[in-house]
């Protein structure tokens, strides 16, 4: 429900008045704001006192705050206290828990079963003896059958050093056993993959920008350089952003000292700042290709924009999301917060990253963004008339445009799988097949590979017999077939990747599926351009 326009303005009273316990000196407010605040404070109190039904004042306040922020811009939002806790974990790069990823296996009448997908190497669950494929059927003497995702989070997370007891059933092993797990710090890695591909090509995928991202990225670069990396693909596809400071740290690894990375321009004191590189980065001269798509946002766009404006990297993919607003998170008295836009991001050349929006039209804005993420990009940027006011120049004199987001140097089609494999993914058949494989052979496979990526990729393969078994499962589930040669190779890589996740870790997925990643294949075709940019950059 959208509030009428007078309500959001008036709701300021809820933020500055007695209701949320925040005191604002009236001398700092303009007469108009003071009068509006007083008027609606009175109205709010009358609603609570005289409305025919009882009023939930807290709920009314939350709805009103949301209405006010909705009238501003699409990225100013209200965050309840429980969301704040989850967001803090995401930005901190870790939480305290037992160190597993899991899935809920559908059971009769909603009685889902909690199944372990991966166990963090060296983490608390591995130390306690949990293994991929284990079913957790009870947590601290309470059943876990029929548990929902929120319940898993609430019951398995907890303070470091505390103990949780789980009852475990292991496929192929009779009976049930109880396991005591001592909770510990569980890192949430943001550099989700870093490995060397053929032709001395390094691949690094960053999935979000948190406080740990800079350190993770530097460690990945150092390792790849030691392994002989000569050129780098930085994959920011699907990365929704995060902390600006982390984006600055990552950009700094590519740039000479004193080069502008991003400017934030705001209205209030302290919100206008320029952030520049310090130098001493681990990859200041080598060629770079950056992969982006319509879901690359915020901090991802800062990195892509800085490297593009300084002619430091070739940007390949689709036009990015266009989220270039700076939010400050302002805590409220009850543990909730508002994330309020206070400034805009500008790339080194002066381009605004943010896509234009209509005030109060947040729903339409979000719908358009979702449509772009799912493939509705519209005409290529080079076919759109761009006024001179939106044209900018890179350091080397190349033209770049400010159309919202970062337009890639080379646009590539969306990475579309065959219809057969898309159906497999939609129905979750590959997960079912791999789960049954692990249930049957998991002990032997774990003994052979033991979380070792090198051993896994050297010694494990999805054979033609494995594909035949999968096709039989697919036919029994009503999926037509057989798949053609292209679909079979996609399927082979898909099953290899799903097994890699369960037998090694999440990062192994990217290495397994890389040969079928069409976006990555396109990126690998632009090395001459990247080498030319790198040579020009080092000579300037």
Residues with active-site annotation = 298, 309, 323
Q: What Rg value do the Cα atoms of the chain yield, rounded?
A: 26
Residue 164, both tokens: 């949780």
Nearest to 511 by CA among 439, 460, 467, 465: 460
| Cα gap 473→424, rounded to integer Å | 11
Whether the link from the prior residue into 482 is cis, omega within 30° of 0, is yes
From first CA to last CA, the distance across the chain in angstroms is: 56
For 224, the 3-state DSSP assignment is helix
CA distances in angstroms from 485 to 270, 463, 490, listed in the order given: 59, 14, 9
Beta-bridge partners for 201: 197, 231
Cα angle vertex 418, ends 194, 411, to 5°? Answer: 60
| Cα gap 367→372, rounded to integer Å | 9
Helices 429-449 and 464-476 pack at an angle, to 10 degrees, of 150
10 Å Cβ neighbour count for 529? 16
Residue 271, both tokens: 């919100």
| Cα gap 201→217, rounded to integer Å | 16
Q: In terms of residues, how long is the chain?
A: 540
CA distances in angstroms from 475 to 161, 183, 283, 448, listed in the order given: 48, 43, 49, 31
Burial bucket for residue 131 (CB in 10 Å: 0-12, 13-18, 19+): middle
Beta-bridge partners for 273: 264
Q: What is the dihedral angle through the alpha carbons of 92, 97, 102, 104, rounded to the nearest 10 degrees?
A: -110
């Amino acid at each position: 429900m959208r509030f009428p326009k007078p309500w959001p303005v008036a709701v300021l009273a809820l933020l500055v008045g007695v209701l949320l316990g925040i005191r604002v000196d009236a001398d700092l407010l303009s007469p108009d704001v003071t009068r509006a605040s007083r008027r609606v404070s009175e109205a709010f109190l009358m609603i609570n006192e005289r409305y025919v039904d009882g009023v939930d004042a807290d709920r009314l306040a939350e709805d009103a705050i949301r209405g006010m922020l909705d009238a501003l811009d699409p990225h100013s939002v209200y965050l309840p206290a429980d969301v704040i806790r989850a967001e803090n974990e995401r930005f901190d790069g870790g939480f305290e828990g037992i160190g597993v990823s899991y899935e809920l296996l559908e059971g009769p009448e909603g009685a889902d079963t909690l199944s372990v997908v991966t166990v963090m190497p060296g983490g608390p669950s591995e130390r306690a003896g949990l293994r991929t494929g284990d079913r957790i059927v009870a947590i601290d003497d309470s059943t876990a059958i029929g548990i929902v995702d929120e319940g898993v989070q609430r019951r398995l997370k907890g303070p470091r050093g505390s103990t949780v007891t789980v009852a475990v059933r292991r496929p192929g092993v009779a009976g049930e056993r109880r396991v005591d797990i001592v909770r510990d710090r569980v890192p949430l890695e943001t550099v989700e993959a870093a490995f060397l591909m053929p032709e001395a090509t390094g691949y690094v995928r960053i999935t979000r920008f948190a406080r740990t991202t800079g350190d993770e990225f530097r460690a990945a670069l150092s390792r790849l350089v030691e392994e002989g990396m000569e050129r780098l693909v930085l994959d920011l596809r699907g990365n929704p952003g995060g902390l600006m400071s982390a984006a600055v740290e990552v950009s700094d690894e590519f740039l000479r000292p004193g080069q502008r990375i991003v400017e934030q321009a705001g209205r209030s004191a302290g919100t206008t700042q320029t952030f520049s590189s310090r130098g001493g980065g681990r990859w200041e001269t080598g060629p770079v290709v950056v992969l982006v798509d319509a879901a690359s946002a915020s901090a991802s766009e800062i990195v892509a924009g800085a490297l593009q404006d300084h002619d430091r990297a070739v940007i390949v993919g689709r036009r990015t999301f266009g989220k270039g607003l700076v939010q400050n998170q302002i805590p409220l008295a009850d543990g909730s917060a508002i994330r309020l836009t206070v400034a805009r991001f500008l790339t080194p050349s002066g381009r605004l990253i943010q896509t234009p929006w209509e005030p109060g039209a947040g729903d339409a804005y979000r719908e358009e963004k979702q449509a772009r993420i799912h493939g509705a990009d519209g005409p290529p940027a080079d076919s759109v008339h761009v006024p001179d006011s939106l044209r900018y120049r890179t350091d080397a004199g190349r033209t770049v445009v400010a159309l919202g987001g970062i337009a890639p140097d080379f646009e590539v089609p969306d990475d579309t799988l065959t219809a057969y494999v898309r159906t497999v993914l939609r129905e979750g058949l590959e997960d079912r097949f791999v789960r049954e494989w692990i249930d049957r052979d998991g002990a032997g496979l774990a003994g052979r590979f033991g979380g070792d990526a090198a051993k896994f990729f050297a010694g494990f393969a999805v054979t033609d017999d494995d594909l035949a078994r999968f096709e039989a499962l697919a036919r029994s589930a009503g999926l037509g077939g057989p798949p053609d040669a292209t679909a079979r190779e996609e399927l082979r890589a898909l099953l290899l990747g799903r097994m890699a996740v369960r037998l090694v870790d999440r990062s192994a997925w990217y290495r397994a599926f890389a040969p079928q990643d069409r976006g990555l294949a396109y990126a690998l075709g632009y090395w001459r351009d990247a080498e030319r940019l790198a040579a020009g950059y080092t000579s300037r």
